[in-house]
Structure 1
Amino acid sequence: MKLDLGAAWNEAVAMMSANKEVLLVLGGIFFLLPAMLMAFLIPAMPQDPIQTMADVERLGEQVQAIYADWWWLYLLAIVIQMVGYLAILALLRDGRRPSVGEAIGDGAKALLPAIATYLLFTIGLSLVLALLLALTAATGGIAAIVTVPLMVIGTIYLAVKVSLSAPVIAVEKVRNPFTVLARSWKLTKGNSLRLFIFFLLIMIVYIVISLILSMIMALLGALMGAETGAILVAFFSSLVGAVFTIVMIAAIAAAHRQLAGPSEPRIAETFD
């Protein structure tokens, strides 16, 4: 089955419209608040000009120091956002229209399988990339002409192939990480390029909106003062990020619905 991008987008919009009240609550709890807390609590990344290798080393040390001090908050935010991601997927693809509490419960139940699947994919990808890097080093960099593009294109391709892993976990209730990855690979077969274009278009819109917003916030910051400007930037960037995340989740849910078929409750409704 070929993915219909127009139909998938219409389905995503319809799902968001039908669940907008619950999405506002879940988006605020799991995406907006964590992003704002991180923006206000974690020191800003250094933006000093880089002119020499010493500047690069100093910048790297400063960044490492920030991560060393705040790793626990980054980890907590990732876990919270993963639960929200899975909860919204379960909500959008469940014909029963579950409550906020039920959606969060579904997301929490899917968390450990999602983490295991992510680690399995990351470890496997890292091993492949390490082999390609070793090959590049062994040839004195000559193979870089082939290996570097191969690593970039291969990573993107594999990311698309496993892009439906989350709905496989949250909607289909598959818990085995190997089965999850295999199922996502099967669902995306013949549609990798279409999915890539679908996600890329959404990403481009997000980048454009973020750039426009950044320019507006910079102007307001210059007019209202640095402190007020920083607060505005933190709030609106977190808000846009939360909205983008929900839109991307809806897009993934719509793509999964089209390629995998309706969820069990919706199938049951057909025969009621």
Structure 2
Amino acid sequence: MKFDMGRAWSETTAMLGANKELLAVIAGIFIFLPNLALAMLVPEMMQGPAEVDPENPMATMQAFYAENGIWFFLLAIVQAIGTLSLLALLHDRRPTVGEAIRTGLVTLLPYIAAQLIIMLGVAIVLGVPVGIATGAGGAAAGVVVGLIAAIVLIYIMVKVSLVSPEMVLGGTLNPLTAIANSWRLTKGNSLRLFAFYLLLLIGVGVVAIVIAMISGLFVAMLGQNAAGLLVGGALNGVLAAIWSVLIVCVVAAVYRQLSGPSTEAVSETFE
């Protein structure tokens, strides 16, 4: 099936409009509130590290993430549950918020397993050639192979972009099967999907930059205090929630288009 960008976007906006209240509830619980909490628990997220070594800024950043790694890990887990729960809300059987959250919890471990398999595969398929090229041909060869690897990485990310909807909407909890099905569904549409995702990323990126500038302005005006952190964290949380809801609706629309109508949708048609 040839992927239709216009149809995918129309279905995305339709899902947003039809489910906005329930989507807002889950996004608020699992995306907005955790991001707000992180801003209060790790103020350096908004203000930057208190002391940066000008001679080795990378060491400062490494120390920052090492010190606060547990918070970022917990945020990633909570947001993963939220994303999967948001997807579950878009199922044709129209689950309640509680049912959607339960689906998110059940799908979490298989989803994490799928992501680890993808990361391991990428590291082997792309990391090894770059390392060999750098070792054998020097930095220049490493850069050339690295650029090729970056293109291949983008291709792989497009091919596995439907893993989460395959797991939640398609009910495929086997990580390897979900990856294989995502690869199959995107066959023949990789370039169209890449263009669609890129246009979306550019559009959202512009909005994100504007909101980040406004957030930074508020924090600067209010100063490095609780009020500044609260406002900045709230704005970041709102942006993260909107982005998560939009991405979920986009991948759900793409998945529905490429996989065809579900059993529930077909049943409703003939009722």
Instruction: State if a TM-score over 0.5 links the two structures.
Output: yes
Task: Check 1:146–1:217 CA distance in 2 against 1; reply closer, same or farther (3 A cut).
Answer: closer
The SS at the match of 1:141 is: helix
Partner of 1:30: 30
Task: Check 1:47–1:148 CA distance in 2 against 1; reply closer, same or farther (3 A cut).
Answer: farther
Residue pair 2:53, 2:60 contacting (<8 A) in 1 also: no
Partner of 2:171: 173
Q: Which blocks of at least 5 consecutive residues in structure 1 are unaligned?
A: none
Following superposition, the deviation at residue 262 of structure 1 comes to: 2.0
Q: Distance in 1 between matches of 2:267 and 2:50?
A: 56
Partner of 1:159: 157
Q: Distance in 2 between matches of 1:222 and 1:86?
A: 35
Following superposition, the deviation at residue 241 of structure 1 comes to: 1.5
The SS at the match of 1:84 is: helix
Partner of 2:126: 129
Following superposition, the deviation at residue 193 of structure 1 comes to: 1.3
Task: Check 1:139–1:60 CA distance in 2 against 1; reply closer, same or farther (3 A cut).
Answer: same
CA RMSD of aligned residues (A): 1.9
Q: Which blocks of at least 5 consecutive residues in structure 2 are unaligned?
A: none
The SS at the match of 2:139 is: coil
Following superposition, the deviation at residue 214 of structure 1 comes to: 2.7
1:104 to 101, 115, 127: 101
Q: Distance in 2 between matches of 1:263 and 1:105?
A: 21
CA shift digits 1:198-228 (9 cap, x unpaired): 1222211222112222333344444444434
Residue pair 1:217, 1:229 contacting (<8 A) in 2 also: no
Q: TM-score, normalised by structure 2?
A: 0.91
Task: Check 1:269–1:43 CA distance in 2 against 1; reply closer, same or farther (3 A cut).
Answer: same
| Total equivalences in the alignment | 266
Give the % identical residues. 40
Q: TM-score, normalised by structure 1?
A: 0.91
Following superposition, the deviation at residue 146 of structure 1 comes to: 2.9
Query: What is the identity, as a one-letter code, of the residue corresponding to 2:109?
Result: L
Task: Check 1:91–1:225 CA distance in 2 against 1; reply closer, same or farther (3 A cut).
Answer: same
Query: What is the identity, as a one-letter code, of the residue corresponding to 2:33?
Result: L
Residue pair 1:113, 1:176 contacting (<8 A) in 2 also: yes
Partner of 2:239: 240
Residue pair 1:30, 1:81 contacting (<8 A) in 2 also: yes
Q: Distance in 1 between matches of 2:126 and 2:49?
A: 29
Following superposition, the deviation at residue 64 of structure 1 comes to: 2.6
Partner of 1:203: 201
Residue pair 1:96, 1:265 contacting (<8 A) in 2 also: yes
Q: Distance in 2 between matches of 1:163 and 1:137?
A: 32
Task: Check 1:219–1:143 CA distance in 2 against 1; reply closer, same or farther (3 A cut).
Answer: closer
Task: Check 1:72–1:229 CA distance in 2 against 1; reply closer, same or farther (3 A cut).
Answer: closer
Task: Check 1:270–1:158 CA distance in 2 against 1; reply closer, same or farther (3 A cut).
Answer: same
Partner of 1:2: 2
2:113 to 92, 111, 116: 116
